[in-house]
Structure 1
Amino acid sequence: MTVITLIGYRGSGKSSVAAPLAGHCGFDWIDADDEIERVAGQSITEIFAGAGEPHFRQLEREVMQRLLAQDKLVIAAGGGAILNAETRQEMQQAGPVIWLKADAEALAQRINSDATTGSRRPALTASSSQLEEIRTLLAQRAPLYRDAATLTIETADKTVSEIVAEIIAALDSDA
């Protein structure tokens, strides 16, 4: 296994889980959204405002393609990285793809408790409420997460340590 990709909706725990999981595996780790911002020299919100979602998705595709070609890396993928079929396929070819799954209410609570999420992440629908947006996007993306994932971990009522331990146990049993 060369690359472990963490997928899931915003707030599912990808960025929080990536570092301790990488440490256990002796891998490096990266947050793909941070890398997109570094490459673009702008926040994701600024990219969306200035060039639109299609431009952001193209940057995301390019960054993910480069990251998935590396070795011994844990990637905290952006929530929408699975929208691109080629990216999903490359994730699976690179190594385990782990869907960190939580219900809309748990995601909304986590997003609201993270001070950086609101300022860095734009609204993606015209929904009147955050919870409605999460439900809408989860309904659209769940089949793609399911299709891409080689392992699904429910995260709603678990600590980061519990999630990492569950991932490690599952990966070890597959080895």
Structure 2
Amino acid sequence: MPVITLIGYRGSGKSSVAAPLAERLGFDWIDADDEIERVAGKSITEIFAEEGEPRFRQIEREVMQSLLGRDKLIIAAGGGAILNIETRKEMREAGPVIWLKASVAALEQRITEDVTTSSRRPALTSSASQREEIQNLLDQREPLYREAATSTVETDSKTVSQIVDEIMTSLDSTD
């Protein structure tokens, strides 16, 4: 049985969609960022502050490698997990990779409304504003999301239930 990996920028809906999707499929699910924090014994913000982004990306790579080797699992991957070429390759080998895509405006609104974001997620650029950071990182990452994805689901103005339904339809069409 495959692993289904949900990819996309922070705030695209990966963690919100993973549990109901797993329930529909009878799979387990895991938030890769939660697993990184469990393995490291500290928050992602602390990893960045104390050890830097390269160390975080190393832990992220190890966690993703481990998770992608499992069966019947939905992975809500971190927004930057696709930065590693081997991780992108392994995601596709493990099973469907669903890119949850959202507009800059929707991402900014969701990130702003998520009370855990500032405490768990560091700023990744020195951009003047959150919107600029989102746009800059999307410009860098969208080609990688596109490369890794086996299907794309637009999440703007959709409920979690609608997104899950759309993913189920895309999974049925790939059988």
Task: Give 3-state SS (helix, strand or coil) of 2:5's partner.
Answer: strand
Q: State the identity %.
A: 75
2:35 counterpart residue number: 35
* Structure 1 vs Structure 2 CA RMSD: 0.5
Unaligned runs of 5+ in 2: none
CA distance in 1, matches of 2:140, 2:103: 14
Match of 1:70 in 2: 70
CA–CA distance in structure 1, aligned partners of residues 158 and 14 of structure 2 = 13
The equivalent residue for 1:130 is 130
Partner of 1:153: 153
SS at match of 2:98: strand
The residue number in structure 1 matching 2:143 is: 143
Report the residue type matching 1:8 in the other structure: G
The one-letter code matched in structure 2 to 1:13 is G
Aligned pair count reads 175
CA positional deviation for 1:25: 0.6
Q: Partner of 1:89 in structure 2?
A: 89
Unaligned runs of 5+ in 1: none
Q: CA deviation at 1:172?
A: 1.0
Instruction: Give the drift of 1:107.
Output: 0.1
AA matched with 1:81 = A
CA distance in 1, matches of 2:70, 2:55: 24
Residue 90 of structure 2 aligns to which amino acid in structure 1? E
Distance 1:19 1:150 in 2: 20
Aligned to 2:26: 26
SS at match of 1:4: strand
State the AA in 2 paired with 1:117.
T
The whole-number CA distance in structure 1 between the counterparts of 2:24 and 2:159 is 16
Report the CA distance between 1:84 and its aligned residue: 0.1
Letter in 2 for 1:67: L
The match for 1:55 is 55
Mapped to 1, the partners of 2:45 and 2:144 lie a distance apart of: 24
Aligned to 1:7: 7
Which ranges of 4 or more aligned residues in structure 1 deviate by more than 3 Å?
A: none
Matched residue, 1:98: 98
Cα distance in structure 2, aligned partners of 1:99 and 1:118: 24
Residue of structure 1 in register with 2:165 after alignment: 165
**Counterpart Cα distance in 2 of 1:90 and 1:2:** 12
Matched residue, 1:114: 114
